[in-house]
Amino acid sequence: MATTVSKPETLVGKRIRRQEDPRLITGTAVYVDDLKLPGMHHAAFVRSPHAAARIRSINTRAALALPGVAAVFTGADVAHLGPVPTGASLPDLRVPHHHLLAQDRVYFCGHPVAAVVATDRYIAADAADLVEVDYEPLPAVADPEKAIAPGAPAVHPQWPDNVAFTFHQEGGDTAQAFRDAEVIVKQRITSQRLIPMAMETRGVVAEWRAGEKSITLHTSTQIPHLVRSLVAGILGMPENHLRVITPEVGGGFGSKLNVYAEEALMAWIASRINHPVKWIESRRENFLVTIHGRGHADYFELAARRDGTILGMKLKLIQDLGAYHQLLTPAIPTLSVLMMPGLYHFANITADIIGAFTNCFPTDAYRGAGRPEATHGIERMVDILAAELHMDPADIRFKNFVPNDRFPYATATGLQYDSGNYRAPLIAALGLVDYPNLRAEQQRAREEGRLMGIGLSTYGEICAMGPSAAMPAGGWESATVKIEPSGKVTVLTGASPHGQGEETTFAQIVADELGVKMDDVMVIHGDTDIVQYGIGTFGSRGTAIGGTALYYALQDLKAKIKKFGAMLLDTDDVTFSGGSCTDERTGKSVSVAEMAGAAYRAVKLPPNTEPGLVATRFWEPPNFTFPFGAHIVVTEVDRDTGTIAIRRYVCVDDIGNIINPLIVDGQIHGGVAQGLGQALWEHAVYDDTGQLITGEFTDYAIPRAPMMPWIESSHTVTPSPVNPLGVKGVGEAGTIGCSPAVVNSVVDALAPLGVRHIDMPLTPEKIWKLIQQKGRA
Partner 1 sequence: MKIAGAYTLPVPRERAWATLQDPVVLARCMPGCDALELIGPGEYHMKMKLTLASLSGLFDGKVRIADQEPLDRFRLTVEGSGKIGFMRGEGLLTLAGSGASTEVAFDGDVQVGGTIAAIGQRLLDTTSRMLIKRFFEKLISIERNDG
Name the one range near partner 1 by CB under 8 A: 158-166, 566-574, 688-696, 737-745.
688-696
Name the one range near partner 1 by CB under 8 A: 45-53, 167-175, 194-202, 400-408.
45-53
**Site residues (CB under 8 A) for partner 1, limited to 550-579:** none
DSSP letters spanning 448-469: TT-EEEEEEEEEE--BS---GG
Beta carbon of residue 699, minimum distance to partner 1 (angstroms, whole number): 6
Beta carbon of residue 775, minimum distance to partner 1 (angstroms, whole number): 28
Distance of alpha carbon 32 from alpha carbon 246, whole angstroms: 8
576 vs 681, beta carbon nearer partner 1: 681
Q: Is residue 318 within 8 Å of residue 363, measured between CB atoms?
A: no
Strand residue runs (E) in 75-194: 105-106, 112-118, 132-137, 163-171, 183-191
∠ CA 201-206-209, rounded to 5°: 170
**Site residues (CB under 8 A) for partner 1, limited to 77-106:** none
Beta carbon of residue 128, minimum distance to partner 1 (angstroms, whole number): 8
DSSP letters spanning 166-196: EEEEEES-HHHHHHH-SEEEEEEEEE--B--
Please, which residues have CB within 8 angstroms of residue 733's CB and are 6 or more apart in sequence?
A: 459, 461, 463, 540, 627, 629, 653, 655, 667, 668, 671
Q: Is residue 136 within 8 Å of residue 82, measured between CB atoms?
A: no
String marking each residue 257-296 x if it binds partner 1 according to CB under 8 A: ---------------------------x--xx--------
153 vs 515, beta carbon nearer partner 1: 153
51 vs 767, beta carbon nearer partner 1: 51
Beta carbon of residue 55, minimum distance to partner 1 (angstroms, whole number): 14
21 vs 696, beta carbon nearer partner 1: 696
CA distance to 81, 111, 113, 730, per residue, from 64 (Å): 23, 21, 15, 50
108 vs 619, beta carbon nearer partner 1: 108
> Between helices 548-569 and 592-601, what is the axis angle to 10°?
80
127 vs 747, beta carbon nearer partner 1: 127
Please, which residues have CB within 8 angstroms of residue 444's CB and are 6 or more apart in sequence?
A: none
Candidate residues 50, 314, 482, 563; the one interacting with partner 1 per rule CB under 8 A = 50
Please, which residues have CB within 8 angstroms of residue 179's CB and are 6 or more apart in sequence?
A: none
Beta carbon of residue 49, minimum distance to partner 1 (angstroms, whole number): 3
Size of the residue set binding partner 1 (CB under 8 A):
20
**Site residues (CB under 8 A) for partner 1, limited to 117-136:** 129
Beta carbon of residue 703, minimum distance to partner 1 (angstroms, whole number): 20
49 touches partner 1 by CB under 8 A: yes
Give start and end residues of each alpha helix (H) in 448-578. 502-514, 548-569
The pair phi, psi for residue 129, each rounded to 5°, is -70, -20
10 vs 689, beta carbon nearer partner 1: 689
Beta carbon of residue 696, minimum distance to partner 1 (angstroms, whole number): 5
String marking each residue 147-166 x if it binds partner 1 according to CB under 8 A: --------------------
404 vs 691, beta carbon nearer partner 1: 691
Candidate residues 119, 689, 714, 763; the one interacting with partner 1 per rule CB under 8 A = 689
Name the one range near partner 1 by CB under 8 A: 6-14, 75-83, 642-650, 687-695.
687-695
Beta carbon of residue 697, minimum distance to partner 1 (angstroms, whole number): 10
165 vs 287, beta carbon nearer partner 1: 287
Amino acid at 358: T
287 vs 576, beta carbon nearer partner 1: 287
Beta carbon of residue 359, minimum distance to partner 1 (angstroms, whole number): 12
Beta carbon of residue 41, minimum distance to partner 1 (angstroms, whole number): 21
Give start and end residues of each alpha helix (H) in 326-447. 332-339, 371-389, 393-400, 423-433, 435-447
The pair phi, psi for residue 205, each rounded to 5°, is -125, 125
Beta carbon of residue 215, minimum distance to partner 1 (angstroms, whole number): 32
**Interstrand relation of 580-582 and 589-591 (parallel, antiparallel or unpaired):** antiparallel
**DSSP 3-state of 490:** strand
Beta carbon of residue 147, minimum distance to partner 1 (angstroms, whole number): 19
109 vs 428, beta carbon nearer partner 1: 109
CA distance to 64, 227, 432, 679, per residue, from 718 (Å): 63, 35, 19, 28
108 vs 344, beta carbon nearer partner 1: 108
Beta carbon of residue 641, minimum distance to partner 1 (angstroms, whole number): 20
Beta carbon of residue 638, minimum distance to partner 1 (angstroms, whole number): 24
Name the one range near partner 1 by CB under 8 A: 44-52, 192-200, 344-352, 587-595.
44-52
129 vs 434, beta carbon nearer partner 1: 129
21 vs 129, beta carbon nearer partner 1: 129
24 vs 65, beta carbon nearer partner 1: 65
Distance of alpha carbon 301 from alpha carbon 185, whole angstroms: 6
* Alpha carbon distance, N-terminus to C-terminus of the chain: 55
Candidate residues 555, 691, 714, 763; the one interacting with partner 1 per rule CB under 8 A = 691
Beta carbon of residue 360, minimum distance to partner 1 (angstroms, whole number): 13
687 touches partner 1 by CB under 8 A: yes
Amino acid at 557: L
478 has which bridge partners? 618
Strand residue runs (E) in 575-698: 575-577, 580-582, 589-591, 614-619, 628-637, 644-654
559 vs 693, beta carbon nearer partner 1: 693
Q: Is residue 75 within 8 Å of residue 111, measured between CB atoms?
A: no
Beta carbon of residue 679, minimum distance to partner 1 (angstroms, whole number): 22
Amino acid at 138: L
CA distance to 320, 492, 554, 607, per residue, from 483 (Å): 49, 11, 10, 20
| b (16+ CB within 10 A) / e for 37-59 | beebbbbbbbbbebbbbebeebe
**Site residues (CB under 8 A) for partner 1, limited to 694-713:** 694-696, 698-699
| b (16+ CB within 10 A) / e for 481-504 | bbbbeebbbbbbbbbbbbbbbbbb
Name the one range near partner 1 by CB under 8 A: 169-177, 474-482, 536-544, 690-698.
690-698
Beta carbon of residue 162, minimum distance to partner 1 (angstroms, whole number): 21
74 vs 694, beta carbon nearer partner 1: 694
Distance of alpha carbon 542 from alpha carbon 463, whole angstroms: 10
Please, which residues have CB within 8 angstroms of residue 435's CB and are 6 or more apart in sequence?
A: 394, 454
Name the one range near partner 1 by CB under 8 A: 16-24, 358-366, 685-693, 766-774.
685-693
Residues in touch with partner 1 (CB under 8 A): 47-51, 109, 129, 284, 287-288, 687, 689, 691-696, 698-699
